[in-house]
A = this chain, B = another copy of it.
Amino acid sequence: MPKRITSIEVAELAEVSQSTVSRVFSDDSPNVATATRERVLQAAQELGYRPNAIARMMSRRESNIIGIVMAHITSPFYPYVLDKFLQRFQAIGKHVLLFTAAEGQSIDDILPLVLQYQVDGLIIASTTLSSAMVDECVRSGTAVILFNRIIKNSNISAVCSDNVTGGRNVADLLLDTGHKRLAYIAGPSNTSTNNDRERGFYKRLTERGYQGMQRMQASYTYESGYQSTLDLLDREIQPDAIFCANDTMAFGAIDAVRERGLIVPDDVSIVGYDNIPMAGWQAYSLTTVSQDVDVMIEKTVDLMQLKIEHPENSTPIIESIAGQLVIRGSVRGCG
C-alpha cells in the first residue's frame, strides 16, 4: 500500500514549514518567495505529492463539488446536457458528483446522500422532489436549481424551456398548414414538460376554434410512440397530423406510419419536441421544437454561481427559455 504523500513530507524535504507548502499549493499564493516556491515545487515533484482535496474541503468548508441528480440519463436529450454541464463546471474548477434516480427509486432517498457531501450546489434534472426535501435543502444552505422542471409555489429556482409556448407554436404550425385531424401523443402525466407542451398545444387549438383533438397517453419511449400511433391510425378518424411530446416518440410515430404503408408527411405529418441530433438524420428529417439547451445550461450555471456566492438572496428565479420551431420534412405544406 503506497503511503500517500502529505504536505508535511514535502515540507521536510524542502526544508520549509508545512504552512509554506500549503501556500504554494493554494490558488493564490502571493506571499511566497520565488526561490522558496521553486524549492517546494521541486520537492513535491520528487515525491509525487498531490494536495488532498478532501482535507482542503475540510478546512475551507466548501467542497467545490456540484451534485447533479439526473433521472433519465439514457434518454437522448440528457447525455448532451450532462456533457455540457461537466464541461462548464470543470472549466470553472468545480467537480461533479453524479447521481441517478433509478427506476422506481425516489429522489428523496438519494438526496440525503448528496447532501452529506456538503455539495456547494445541487442540480436536479428531469425529476422533481418532495417539498419536504426542498425544505431540507434550503435548511442545509445548499443552492438548488431545478433543470427542466418547475415546482410551483416553492421558493426554488429553476431553468426550463418554455414548453407552453413551444406547444402553442406547434398548434399554429399545424393549423396554418391546413391540417384537419390532429392528435397528441403525451409523455408521462407527472412531467411538467409534457403537461406544459400539451397545455400550450391544446389551449392554442381551442383559441383558434379547433375541436376534437385526439390524445394517446404514452411514456416518452420509442416503443410507446410507435404503438400509440398504430392505435391512432386504426381509429375511425385517422389523424393527418400527430404532435409527439418528444422526439423519440416521434421517431416511433414515423416508423409506425410507414409500417402502415403511409407516407410522412403526405398522409400524416409528425412533429416532435427536443430537436435531438437524430432529428436531423435523413431517415426521419423530423420537424420539431428545439430547446435551446446551450442557453439553458448557461443560465443554470450562472444561477448556480449566483446562489453560491449570495446564499442570503433567497427569492427564487425562474428562467424560461423559449424554444424554436425547426422546420424539416415531416410536416407537409411548409417551406
Residues of A bordering B, CB below 8 Å: 1-2, 4, 48, 50-55, 57-58, 63, 65, 73-74, 76, 78-80, 82-83, 86-87, 90, 95-100, 102, 110, 112-113, 115-118, 136, 138-141, 222, 226, 251-252, 254-256, 258-259, 277-278, 281-284, 311-312
Contacts and interface: CB of A to CB of B under 8 A. Distances in A.
B259 A282 contact: yes
B258 A116 contact: no
Contact of A53 (B83, B117, B281): B117
A283 B284 contact: yes
A14 to B, nearest CB: 19
A251 B283 contact: yes
Q: Which of A4, A278, A281, A311 has the most CB of B within 10 A?
A: A281
Contacts of A255: 281-283
| Total copies of the chain | 2
Contacts of A113: 95
A126 B110 CA distance: 28
A2 B139 contact: yes
13 contacts: A50-B116, A52-B118, A53-B118, A54-B58, A73-B86, A78-B79, A86-B99, A90-B110, A95-B117, A251-B283, A255-B283, A256-B282, A283-B283
Main secondary structure of the interface of A (DSSP, over half): helix
A297 B210 CA distance: 51
Q: Which of A51, A58, A83 has the most CB of B within 10 A?
A: A83
Contact of A50 (B80, B82, B115): B115
A255 B278 CA distance: 12
A100 B118 contact: no
Nearest to A48: B139
A140 B90 contact: no
Contacts of A311: 1
A55 B58 contact: yes
A257 to B, nearest CB: 10
A314 B249 CA distance: 48
A58 to B, nearest CB: 5
A80 B86 contact: no
Contacts of A281: 222, 251-252, 255
A226 B100 contact: no
Given A50-B112, A79-B78, A117-B54, A140 B2 contact: yes
